[in-house]
Amino acid sequence: MKKTDISVSLRDGARKRLKQYSRLLSQSLSAGFLLLTLMWQNQAFGQADCSLSCHGAQVSLGADCTAEVTVAMVGETTQCPNGQFTVYVYTLGGDTVPTSPVVTQAEIGMTLIASVRDNISGNSCWTYITVQDKMRPTLVCEDMTISCLDLLNYDGPVASDNCDGDPDLILVNEVAELLCDPNYIKQITRTYIARDASGNESLPCDMSIFLERIDYADIDFPDSLTVLLDNELHCDGNWADADDDGIPDPEDDGIYPGTGVPEIDGTPIYPDFIGFCNALTTYDDLVFPTIGCVTKIMRVWTVREWHCMGETDTIYIQIIEIVDNEGPEIVCPADFSHTTNGHHCTADIWMPAAVVFDNCSDLVTVTVAYPGGFGNSNGGFYATLPVGANIITYTAYDECYNSSQCTMTITIQDLTPPVPVCDEHTIVSLTLGGQSGLTKVDASVFDDGSYDACGPVTFRARRMDSCIDFDWTTEGAGIDEIHNGVVDSRDRGTVHRPKVPFACCDAGAGPIMVELEVEDASGNLNYCMVEVNVQDKIKPIITCPSDITISCDYPLNLDDLSDFGDVVADQHDVTTWCIYDPGNPNDLDGDGFVCGVDGLWRDNCDAEITVTNVPHINNCGVGYIDRFWRAEDSNGYDQCTQRITITNFTPITYLSIDWPDDYHGLECRRRY
């Protein structure tokens, strides 16, 4: 190594100021640690009064797994007789050990730095130390008596250590000796040692273990598995059978359970030879013929013990019943649809086969039930099915008469339209009461025997063209008669509706083409045409204005009798009319007015209204006037008579004449 400058920094305790001291070493240094001894010269005395040196040490942990590093372990202080010393322990990285100056289990095997400092002079030295655990573990061995079955689970004697909470326990030697004691089968002599984490070993420890014999009364044999106990095995094979011979194994195979093995206090005593107990467990199976779908197995368990006093055994019989009480697995074919056969409302369907499987029986029988029939095979035959959703039930039976079912749906669709038969020439007579003779004819009127193979049919109809030009419905004939202010195809009857409208404009207009729509229950449609001739066979009806009696003083105008009412066509237009005829005794209110009511005429179409006035009045102005009202159309007429009676309510009577007075004379005069 080259010559090196070494600088040392010291802290002045009074002024807290660093002073640099430097010295050039004249000799070359080799690689490694350099121990420097620094002498502090007390300026007050002018001489070095304390010299320290440190030496390495191995520190062994005590019974509590700790050790305190002391000045005596690592320091030479004879040159500093009056010093006050403190020991510090550091890691090689310069960190203070948390428990310094005490070292613990955490530092076992580590190389540390120990520093000794004189608190008076400030001088210090340091060295390396190694922490070790050299205390051996201790073992407590005591003779004991246990069941021969428990030896496998015996962990050994108790070991303890100052630092290792769980030292390794090592079996060094074992000697087994058969005993002829009636209570014991063997004596086991064992030698143990304990070893801690630092490799310290305890002194060997010997102990004797006396093994008790098996008590047959303590053996728990597996339960029988029978129908009577409601724990029988099922033939589906969900039990262990390693050799696949159809006979269940007593042990689990990791996937399926076994039928059970003998145990003592929860410890299986099969299949392994119980070496410490000098015992062996075996079994033999006796398989009986299958009767009533039940296979019975008699399993004979034997437990034997060899002892110097002789061989003993015990026998137990376990009954195992394997039963087939589950139906086969069955999967039906997928649902599908089919159409009817031509004009027949049925379909001949080739029945598909279901997928069946039985884990116990090779012979599986399948039957098929369908609406109106039954099949004794797994499909493979024709079945006649009606229109609609047909539920098909497949039933699978095994040899033990266990059964399973599944269902599928075959939907037969009627895609054949109905057969329309129209009344090709139909006469429609207009009715009374509708606007402009509006007459609604049910669509079925135009039918003349339409039919469908699958059931009843319904009808709708429409005109091919129309003369109707007034608003009377919103949705159409046979649905409503609500005005909506719009004249459209529904008013005209040119869309299919339950009824067809006709009006006066159709009367005598020649054949009107009507299309009849026939619909079956499946929504299939068909059409035919009808020629319709519309006739108006209704003559008008008329009622006259009220009869009335008037006074002869009323200013009657024979050329204009409109004061005495009119005949109107609409009930809403009928009004009450009045004339002023003072003194008329028919004036019930005493206001001089006598009243009557208009007449009314009705016809499905237009009619001609005429009136003829025929007076019958004498020279005194008394009499009556007959007004002959007549309503007439092409089908005839109707008429009525309104009579206006003219009366003198104050006629001249004998009492009303002012006669001359009587005359009395005294002589007679002859008149010549």
Q: DSSP alpha helices (H): ranges in 107-223?
A: none
Q: Can you give the length of the chain in residues?
A: 672
Q: What is the mean pLDDT of residues 213-237?
A: 93
Backbone angles phi, psi at 212, to 5 degrees: -75, 150
| Three-state SS at 231 | coil
Q: Cα–Cα distance between 459 and 529 in angstroms, integer? A: 13
pLDDT-derived band at 12, boundaries 50, 70, 90: very low
**Backbone angle region of 244, left / alpha / beta, with phi > 0 → left and psi within -120 to 50 → alpha:** left
Share of the chain above pLDDT 70, in %: 91
Q: Cα–Cα distance between 152 and 48 in angstroms, integer? A: 73
CA neighbor of 110 nearest in space, from 122, 93, 124: 93
Q: What is the mean pLDDT of residues 166-184?
A: 92
CA neighbor of 467 nearest in space, from 424, 427, 499, 438: 438
Res 490 pLDDT > 50: yes
pLDDT-derived band at 22, boundaries 50, 70, 90: very low
Res 530 pLDDT > 50: yes
Name residue 393's beta-bridge partners.
369, 407
- Encode 29-58 in three state secondary structure: CCCCCCCCCCCCEECCCCEECCCCEECCEE
pLDDT-derived band at 667, boundaries 50, 70, 90: low
pTM above 0.85, yes or no: no
- For the chain, domains (ranges, CATH) are 34-132 (2.60.40), 138-212 (2.60.40), 216-323 (no CATH), 329-413 (2.60.40.10), 425-535 (2.60.40), 541-647 (no CATH)
At 104-126, the pLDDT tens digits run 999 999 999 999 999 988 899 99
Res 321 pLDDT > 50: yes
At 548-557, the pLDDT tens digits run 999 999 999 9
Q: If 0-12 CB within 10 Å is exposed, 13-18 middle and 19+ buried, where does residue 575 land?
A: exposed
**Residue 398: what pLDDT?**
92
Q: Cα–Cα distance between 442 and 302 in angstroms, integer? A: 96
**Residue 507: what pLDDT?**
92
pLDDT-derived band at 153, boundaries 50, 70, 90: confident
Q: Is the peptide bond before 420 cis (omega within 30 degrees of 0)?
A: no
**Residue 665: what pLDDT?**
67
pLDDT-derived band at 170, boundaries 50, 70, 90: very high
| Ranges 388-397, 467-476, 580-589, 618-627: which has the least confidence | 580-589
Share of the chain above pLDDT 90, in %: 72
Identify the top-confidence range among 9-13, 351-355, 620-624: 351-355
CA neighbor of 147 nearest in space, from 205, 89, 218, 196: 218
Q: If 0-12 CB within 10 Å is exposed, 13-18 middle and 19+ buried, where does residue 584 land?
A: buried
Give 536's contacts (C-beta < 8 A, 6+ positions apart).
429, 430, 437, 504, 507, 508, 604, 605, 633, 634, 635
- The mean pLDDT value of the chain amounts to 89
Q: For 313, what's the count of Cα atoms within 13 Å in the CB-facing half-sphere?
A: 11
pLDDT-derived band at 49, boundaries 50, 70, 90: low
Backbone angles phi, psi at 362, to 5 degrees: -85, -20
- Total Cβ atoms within 10 A of residue 385: 23
**Residue 668: what pLDDT?**
63
Q: Cα–Cα distance between 409 and 394 in angstroms, integer? A: 11
- Total Cβ atoms within 10 A of residue 12: 9
β-pairing, 85-90 with 548-551? Answer: unpaired
Res 34 pLDDT > 50: no
CA neighbor of 548 nearest in space, from 616, 625, 619: 625
pLDDT-derived band at 295, boundaries 50, 70, 90: very high
Structure-token match 């079956």, residue found:
520
Q: If 0-12 CB within 10 Å is exposed, 13-18 middle and 19+ buried, where does residue 84 land?
A: exposed
Res 286 pLDDT > 90: yes
At 593-613, the pLDDT tens digits run 999 999 999 988 888 999 999
**Residue 474: what pLDDT?**
96
At 402-459, the pLDDT tens digits run 999 999 999 999 999 999 999 999 999 998 878 888 999 999 999 999 999 899 999 9
Element (H, E) at 373: strand 373-375
Asked if 603 and 633 touch (Cβ cutoff 8 Å), the reply is: yes
Q: If 0-12 CB within 10 Å is exposed, 13-18 middle and 19+ buried, where does residue 174 land?
A: exposed
Asked if 67 and 102 touch (Cβ cutoff 8 Å), the reply is: yes
Backbone angles phi, psi at 574, to 5 degrees: -65, 125
